[in-house]
Structure 1
Amino acid sequence: MHFDIFCRVIDNFGDIGVCWRLARQLADAPDGHQVTLWVDDIHRFQRIEASVGVQPVQSLTHNIKVVHWTTPAPLREPGDVVIEAFSCDPPETFVEAMKAKGSLWINLEYLSAEAWVESFHAVPSLQSNGLRKFFFYPGFTSNTGGLLRERDLLAQRDAWQADARQRAALLAALQVPADVIAGLQAGWRQALLFGYPGAPATALIHALEATQSPWVVLVPQGMHPNIINVATPHVRVVEIPFVDQAGFDRLLWSSDLNFVRGEDSLVRALWAGKPLVWHIYEQEDDTHLIKLQAWLAQSGYPDAVGQLMMAWNKKEDAAARRHLDAVLQYPAWNDWVAAAARRTDSLAQQPDLATNLTTFCAKNC
């Protein structure tokens, strides 16, 4: 099959991150599907994929093309399946061409653990022009579209974690000081802090210091400036440069504790199998907290971890510090480590999103 994926980059890198992963996984499937990825913000795309150029149409692999989605949009023949990521509205001229070709139209929705998602997944969306359009919801249960996961991802993770030299080389490439790398090799613990503005980052530093064990906190460049270059007797904070998707996965794999934000980073942190704190994208009327609570209810994490995540997302410094103190102490820490590993193993038993999507499209094309 030939897939068109339309991606409008709204903010940050979550939209293009999801679409680029999906494009690669469709192209790498056993059937080797052809994929055309339409992106409106090429410069943002270049931040996560260095091979992307600025030309209007380019081939990144033998079966992936990238089209710069401009106004007016380039005239191209639609594929068998057209994926509209996150209700981004493909150009009207392209929709007319889809009608002539008889393309299947998929509305790829945002990730949610809320119960209603199962009822709306794979439901048709009636179109006055006669096109067949369906909602496709990613999710955490077998009654949803599943999660993006490369076929050999967990094997890659295990191989990476088994070779300490790869971790040291990655950190060196990110200009982490040599004495910090040596400390990590000697048993210091590592946290990755990737959150939205306002996250109680200072509370995290104080809580890690209270463990009386050495910690290194890696912070992507430009985030959480209030804690950059903080040094306490047991905590070193190191700012690191922006990394591509593969580098981000490896940072997650090599960290003992991951603080992540948005949907794409959450899924990658889940596949790392390590304790994580999710900073969900903030919405009006605290709708995001309802989504967070639904996800926590499915997670199998200890109650104390759920309380920490709620405090973290409410940006409550005192409460976050109190709950961090609780979960970082033994035996609570061991319980969290075990629960995180179980959740990853459970999710890995389900088919991945790209597989579910191609199966659905093959039945409906």
Structure 2
Amino acid sequence: MSSQPAIIITSPPSWDIFCNVIDNYGDIGVCWRLARQLAGEYGLSVRLWVDDLASFVRLHPSADAQAALQWCCGVQVCHWSQSFAGVQPATVVIEGFGCQLPASYLQAMETSPPVWINLEYLSAESWVEGCHGLPSPVRAMIRYFYFPGFVPATGGLLLESGLLARRDAFCPDVGAKSRFWHSLGMLAPDPDTMIVSLFCYENGNVPELFEVWAGGTQRMLCLVPEGRVLPQVAAWFGDAAAAAGSRYVRGMLEVQVLPFVSQQQYDQLLWLCDLNFVRGEDSMVRAQWAAKPMLWHIYPQQDMAHWPKLEAFIDRYCALLSHDDAMLVRHLMEAWNRGCGAGPLWQQYMGAWPRLHAHAGQWCSHLCEDGGGSLAANLVDFSRQIMDSAAPNLRGG
């Protein structure tokens, strides 16, 4: 790192996080969690630049979608508009998921080069371990590639201090759970009801799973946050006007459409459910901290470019399972991502349920003990190492 140009260090360091919202809530979900943790747990001065404030407001309802600048949870949230105003770059600059920084900001960075980090998408693929933390010269500066991941050779996962303790305190608290259901306009379900959250992209498996659930012997409550799958849900029930608050019942299946909730409430929703269908990156990580069985709908890409990434995660996720249970989870998650074939596997999945439920807790513990650690903590340490390596330059050494 000796080639890193001199960095002007402030105390405490200031951080800029740039987020270009592409997939509705995945990109901003990760960047907002990271910004909030850096400010709240590490006392850092954080600016979050967002080009789509409407999506941000869905995650943080008290925010103002029209404000050019506002403070939220100790984070300065700024609208990243096309006519980007000239600002002084921060000490550490996070380029969220390869978004291109504003030209004027890049030019200003050359005067006092910051620690420049390109925060990549999460991947379980083994190749990221060799690329994590690598420097790349750009315009007489150095940009570092930073990969979140599931092993120590990566940047780890977003995990706030005390999150799992809050989960463990919430789950047995009857009063807290009752208040949560009330906040959704619902009564607490009967204890013998299986509760499922369904957060996914459009998926051809939805009708066939609904058929299986409606015709089964187990009472099922499916909670559907507002999102891209809602038209499919509504169509199955013959309703063209589904919205938050809509409720449907057929056979043993009840479906409740939920309003979009804050990130803290979404965590609680995952904790309350027996099984969580999740999508993208942010909700997928939160489902693993919930320590409940999960099925992941990866963001689909052209030419099946996402499939190796899906298989790599399944390999890691199933490593603690027996061969038969691992194959079952693999087949179901692959079917879920193909958009067909999940219905016929449901009874087998339920037959393995006690073992799969135990595995979810074991997997969560494994990530805590042998995973890559806290992404926020690792980023802070990484940036400090770069600053320390540049300190002799500041002293003329």
Short-chain TM bin: over 0.9
- Measure how far apart 1:226 and its partner are: 2.9
CA contact (8 A) 2:70 2:76 kept: yes
| 1:145 corresponding residue in structure 2 | 155
- Measure how far apart 1:27 and its partner are: 0.9
CA contact (8 A) 1:139 1:147 kept: yes
* 1:252–1:291 Cα change, 3 Å: same
SS in structure 2 at match of 1:52:
coil
Structure 2 alignment gaps of length 5 or more: 1-12, 238-246, 388-397
Matching of residue 20 in structure 1 with residue 20 in structure 2: no
- Measure how far apart 1:287 and its partner are: 1.6
Deviations 1:16-73 (A, max 9, x none): 00000000111122x41110100111111111112322221222244x2111111221
Matching of residue 274 in structure 1 with residue 283 in structure 2: no
Q: Distance in 1 between matches of 2:22 and 2:288?
A: 24
CA contact (8 A) 1:5 1:37 kept: yes
CA contact (8 A) 1:39 1:67 kept: yes
| 1:245 corresponding residue in structure 2 | 263
Q: How does 1:197-346 map to 2 (within 5 A)?
A: 197-209=202-214, 211-221=216-226, 223=230, 224-227=233-236, 229-300=247-318, 301=321, 302-316=326-340, 319-329=341-351, 332-346=352-366
Q: Distance in 1 between matches of 2:38 and 2:208?
A: 42
For the aligned residue pairs, the C-alpha RMSD in angstroms reads 1.5
When normalised by structure 2's length, the TM-score is 0.86
Higher relative contact order (CA 8 A, sep 6+): 2
Q: Distance in 2 between matches of 1:227 and 1:147?
A: 36
- Measure how far apart 1:84 and its partner are: 0.3
Stretch deviating more after TM superposition (162-171 or 16-25):
162-171
Q: How does 1:42-61 map to 2 (within 5 A)?
A: 42-53=53-64, 54-61=66-73
| 2:9 corresponding residue in structure 1 | none
CA contact (8 A) 2:123 2:149 kept: yes
Q: Distance in 2 between matches of 1:255 and 1:227?
A: 22
* 1:102–1:343 Cα change, 3 Å: same
Structure 1 alignment gaps of length 5 or more: none
CA contact (8 A) 2:28 2:56 kept: yes
CA contact (8 A) 2:194 2:274 kept: yes
Matching of residue 113 in structure 1 with residue 124 in structure 2: yes
SS in structure 2 at match of 1:265:
helix
Code of the aligned partner of 2:333: M
Q: Distance in 2 between matches of 1:141 and 1:278?
A: 19
- Measure how far apart 1:341 and its partner are: 1.0
- Measure how far apart 1:11 and its partner are: 2.6
Stretch deviating more after TM superposition (159-168 or 12-21):
159-168
Q: Among 93, 97, 109, which residue is 1:98 paired with?
A: 109
Code of the aligned partner of 1:283: Q
Deviations 1:114-136 (A, max 9, x none): 11111110001121x21121000
Stretch deviating more after TM superposition (197-206 or 144-153):
197-206
When normalised by structure 1's length, the TM-score is 0.93
- Measure how far apart 1:186 and its partner are: 3.0
Return the index of the structure with the highest Cα Rg: 2
* 1:89–1:336 Cα change, 3 Å: same
- Measure how far apart 1:235 and its partner are: 1.8
Stretch deviating more after TM superposition (227-236 or 10-19):
227-236
Deviations 1:121-171 (A, max 9, x none): 0001121x2112100001111110000010110001111101122222222
- Measure how far apart 1:306 and its partner are: 1.1
Code of the aligned partner of 1:191: V
Q: How does 1:63-82 map to 2 (within 5 A)?
A: 64-82=75-93
SS in structure 1 at match of 2:342:
helix
CA contact (8 A) 1:199 1:313 kept: no
Q: Distance in 2 between matches of 1:80 and 1:190?
A: 46
Q: Distance in 2 between matches of 1:284 and 1:186?
A: 43
* 1:242–1:10 Cα change, 3 Å: same
CA contact (8 A) 2:203 2:336 kept: no
Code of the aligned partner of 1:151: S
Matching of residue 89 in structure 1 with residue 100 in structure 2: yes
| 2:45 corresponding residue in structure 1 | 34
Stretch deviating more after TM superposition (239-248 or 199-208):
199-208
Q: Among 354, 358, 361, which residue is 2:383 paired with?
A: 361
| 2:192 corresponding residue in structure 1 | 187
